[in-house]
Chains A and B, each alone.
Chain A
Amino acid sequence: MSLIETIQNKYNEFSAVAGNGLLGNMRAKAFEHYNKLGIPTSKNEEWKYTRITPLTNKNFELHTTAVLPSKEVLNDIRLQAECAAELFFINGVFVKEISSFDKDALVVLSLNEAAESEYKNYVQQHLNQSSKYMKDGLHALNAAFVANGLFVLVKKNKALQKPVFIYHLTDTNNDNVFVQPRTLFVVEENAQVQLIELYKNNGLQESFTNEVIEIVVQQNARFEYYKVQDENENCHHVGTTHVQQVGKCFTHCVTITLNGGTVRNNINMILEAPNNEGHLYGLYIINGKTHVDNHSIVDNIEPNCFSNEFYKGIMDGNSTGVFNGKIFVRQDAQKTNAYQSNKNILMSDTASVNAKPQLEIFADDVKCSHGCTVGQLDEDALFYLRARGLDEKQAKAFLLHAFAADILEQVKPEALHTYLEKKIDERLNVDAL
């Protein structure tokens, strides 16, 4: 049975169990929306370079409850670092029992609970705001199955010293799985937090993740976000990170893709208040048949905002990299400074890259620029290193490491930085140095 059919079969059953209320309404609307729009094809301009339909025609199982993995497996995926919270999604379902968090600074609930709690307002106001920007069937599909998601609130005036970890584990030991994690993350006034989302898999079957995380950042808050995909090539991923900066605040987002099958990362940064500042960074180092598509939207709505976007990619083997960056500057957003840069290196003749850096500007008193390059390692630099006794492999690894370092240095939490550096070095064979 194809995934499309599974979805139709499962929806009613799932919906009946999950009940009505706030989320029930949302699900019904979203499902209607999904049926209308369907899975995006390459005819959709936003999906021109990424094909999802071969996946949705495959057989994937849709799990709505989680089977807990063994302690060893859980320990294996943890970064073993000091943290303010460790939250687990197993096959797309948030599992509170095995999660832990600092109760003083954080509120952690399942979305179902949150919709009935004193935080109901947040859910009502902000859940599924991303649908204003993401008008495709896949995004609606996630909302159509929203229930066992995660709600996190960082309380007012709390500056967390240690990061919050969200681990996503897809268990593909028994069958192909389709998972849809959903998170609403609220950072209240004057709070500070670092959020790390880590994707891991366990098993050899295929998985298809369709994730949505929505983040609301309030006045004077500071939010750092790191998304790391380190699954195997049987894991496909479509993820949307939607950052809404509702007050004057600071955000810093880094997306790192090291491996996977077909991967699509959407990141939206909505600068809704004046004087906002946002940074977006991305790094994709891919090989084999991996396909990575990074889509970003930076929407400058109010005046005096600053945004900076910097993505880098290294493509080897038969891999494909896609970059699409959109910057909107609305008519009221005078004195906006928005920058965007995308740099790609092709290491093999079978790798390819498709880039589309896009500016749409409606205000005149702005400074906007974008740049995009595709090329290879500098011959002179290679020669310089070779002349000093490094062999070709070492010299290349050395230069690639330096190329990646620009983004890597934006990863502030130490534990994650060390972890990534090790991973990247392994990939680039830097241990040869």
Chain B
Amino acid sequence: MSEMIATLEETALSDYKYGFVTQIEADEAPLGLNEDIIRFISAKKEEPEWMLEWRLKAFKYWQSLGNHEPQWANISYPSIDYQNIKYYSAPKQKAGPKSLDEIDPELRRTFDKLGISLNEQNRLSGIAVDAVIDSVSIGTTFKAQLAEQGIIFCSITEAIQHHPDLVKKYMGSVVPMTDNFFAALNSAVFTDGSFCYIPKGVRCPMELSTYFRINAENTGQFERTLIIADEGAYVSYLEGCTAPMRDENQLHAAVVELIALDSAEIKYSTVQNWYPGDKEGKGGIYNFVTKRGICSTNAKISWTQVETGSAITWKYPSVILKGDNSVGEFYSVAVTNNYQQADTGTKMMHVGKNTRSRIVSKGISAGKSNNSYRGLVQVGKNAHNSRNFSQCDSLLLGDKCGAHTFPYIETKNSTSIVEHEATTSKIGEDQIFYCNQRGIDTETAVALIINGFAKEVMNQLPMEFAVEAQKLLAISLEGSVG
């Protein structure tokens, strides 16, 4: 309890504390997007020919779509000028750091400020981190220890150079380049991201983590993450992100692909804290992300997300339950304040027999924000005995915000059971009164209730993230409660 009060007090005083800019010289591509830019990115990354061809193919497809972004989401924003973005920006370094010691000290200070230790000696935290700033990955920790077990954890650029077979086989297999507008754009211009391969039967001994940061002005961040868990493997993966405070909007369009082979398990957690814009809704990150996983027989994929940042969140982590007996899970807390807009949810596609999925989504809206849950549960003809349970609850703080629910349920099998329930409410006066009666002041009571509201999801987060996520919740809602 006391910890919570402290957290609230601490956060009540602070605004977006990650909004600093690091003065690092950057190596950048000029503004705009055309084939030359793609060739430039590919050359910078020293990519093989097939990768460049793949990118160009994606670019052609993206061009064929015109400037028609998907219109169906419950969000509104001025159209994005794709020619006014820098597609490549890298902190200037002497070519390829051989070890973490060679990383620009200014950069390392940035990550220290963010509370992410790239220092290998700091083993206490026990998390292997891959840090991505603007367009490139600047260092991956614990690489050697992981390699002992045959685990590959590196930036996607390295993976393309050193493990082309794996990349060739799996990249685009879950999210094809033609999947949607932003996935096509990402496939053409992705600059870096993380790659992870867990060999057969290996249980990854530590949490793997990627930290994304947009630093340079006018840049878009397009990272690509590919995680492959081979038969019987297990991995827990964390993702975090921040950006400086700027007046203009910046674009972030990532693609994440998860592949869980037979009996493998992948747990993917995100704490998304991009800069949400100021109180008047100026600035902030446009977050258009495509995340999807595919499960083979007996495999399991679990998505957990805490969404507090971004001016716009457009994100639907999905699971294709292809193999029999596979399991998909989605836990989400999405908080919007001021003028933020979130349209987020999941897709669970039941293809195999005895597949199970569970969706727990908690939306909290405050200020003048709009928060939507959009989900699809699809049960195919052959998905006998499949089971889904979805719950989406919304909490409204204030009378100028909106909460929306758009669940789609499509069932084609008579032996499956699909359940969906949703509620919308505010914090009850009687609930507050109950707390007041017991000597808890109103502000604390509100924090207590919100914490309880989100608990089911918070419990799914790895320990290290849970604390941070709880603080974030409080920051995002600062000033809107009580």
Contacts and interface: CB of A to CB of B under 8 A. Distances in A.
Interface centre among B72, B406, B414, B416 (most CB of A within 10 A): B414
Contact of B425 (A352, A355, A368, A374): A368
B4 interface: no
B400 A331 contact: yes
Nearest to A334: B399
B418 interface: yes
Given A351-B414, A352-B411, A45 B400 contact: no
A371 B419 CA distance: 8
A349 B380 CA distance: 10
Interface stretch (B107-115, B129-137, B390-398, B441-449): B390-398
Interface in A369-425: 369-376
B409 A376 contact: no
A149 B67 CA distance: 46
A366 interface: yes
A354 B397 contact: no
Interface in A330-388: 331, 334, 344, 346-349, 351-376
Contacts of B426: 364-366
A374 B423 contact: no
B interface bracket (residues with beta carbon within 8 Å of A): 35 or more
A352 B398 CA distance: 40
B417 A375 contact: yes
B420 interface: yes
A347 B409 contact: no
B409 A369 contact: no
B471 interface: no
B408 A376 contact: no
A349 B381 contact: yes
Given A370-B421, A373-B419, A352 B410 contact: yes
B415 interface: yes
A213 B72 CA distance: 30
A29 B404 CA distance: 34
Contacts of B414: 346-349, 351, 376
B213 to A, nearest CB: 35
B424 interface: yes
B6 interface: no
A45 B408 CA distance: 12
B419 A368 contact: no
- Interface SS of chain A: helix, strand, loop or mixed? strand
B417 A360 contact: no
A355 B396 CA distance: 25
B403 interface: yes
Contact of A359 (B401, B415, B416, B424): B424
B409 A356 contact: yes
A352 B396 contact: no
Nearest to A48: B408
B417 A361 contact: no
B404 A361 contact: yes
Contact of A374 (B398, B399, B417, B422): B417
Nearest to A356: B408
A359 B420 contact: no
A357 B406 CA distance: 7
Contacts of B72: 45
A361 B424 CA distance: 8
A interface bracket (residues with beta carbon within 8 Å of B): 20 to 34
A368 B424 contact: yes
A374 B396 contact: no
- Interface SS of chain B: helix, strand, loop or mixed? strand
Contact of A331 (B379, B399, B413, B421): B399
Contacts of A367: 423-425
Contacts of A373: 417-420
Nearest to A371: B421
Interface string B46-81: 000000000000000000000000001000000000
Contact of B394 (A348, A355, A361, A365): A361
B186 interface: no
A351 B412 CA distance: 6
A358 B424 CA distance: 12
Interface string B423-435: 1111000000000
B407 interface: yes
Contacts of A369: 421-424
B405 A358 contact: yes
A359 B425 contact: no
A93 B412 CA distance: 39
A372 B417 contact: no
Interface centre among A334, A368, A372, A374 (most CB of B within 10 A): A374
B424 A366 contact: yes
B411 A370 contact: no
Contacts of A346: 411, 413-414
Contacts of B413: 346, 349
Contact of A361 (B379, B403, B408): B403
Nearest to A373: B419
A364 B396 contact: yes
A358 B392 CA distance: 11
A68 to B, nearest CB: 45
B139 interface: no
Nearest to B387: A375
Nearest to B396: A364
B420 A357 contact: yes
Contacts of A368: 423-425
Interface centre among B379, B404, B424 (most CB of A within 10 A): B424
B374 to A, nearest CB: 10
A269 to B, nearest CB: 18
Nearest to A331: B399
Contacts of A360: 402, 404-405
Contacts of A351: 414
Nearest to A367: B425
Contacts of A334: 399
A372 B404 contact: no
A376 B419 contact: no
B409 A364 contact: no
Contacts of A354: 408-411
Contacts of B399: 331, 334, 363-365
Contacts of B403: 359, 361
Contacts of A349: 381, 412-415
A243 to B, nearest CB: 23
B266 to A, nearest CB: 28
A367 B425 CA distance: 5
Nearest to B406: A358
Contacts of B404: 358-361
Contacts of B415: 349, 376
Contacts of A370: 405, 420-422
Contacts of A45: 72
Contacts of A331: 399-400
Contacts of A359: 394, 403-405, 422, 424
Given A331-B400, A361-B403, A361-B404, A371 B422 contact: yes
Contacts of B421: 369-372
Contacts of B423: 367-369
Contacts of A344: 411
A354 B411 CA distance: 6
A356 B376 CA distance: 9
A353 B418 CA distance: 11
Contacts of B410: 352-355
Nearest to A332: B399
Interface of B: 72, 379, 381, 394, 396-426
8 contacts: A353-B409, A354-B410, A357-B420, A358-B405, A358-B406, A361-B396, A364-B401, A370-B405
Given A359-B403, A372-B407, 14 more contacts: A344-B411, A346-B413, A349-B413, A354-B408, A354-B410, A354-B411, A357-B407, A358-B405, A359-B405, A360-B402, A362-B401, A364-B426, A371-B420, A371-B422
Interface of A: 45, 331, 334, 344, 346-349, 351-376
Closest 10 pairs (CB-CB, A-B): A346-B414, A364-B396, A355-B409, A374-B418, A352-B412, A372-B420, A368-B424, A359-B405, A375-B417, A369-B423
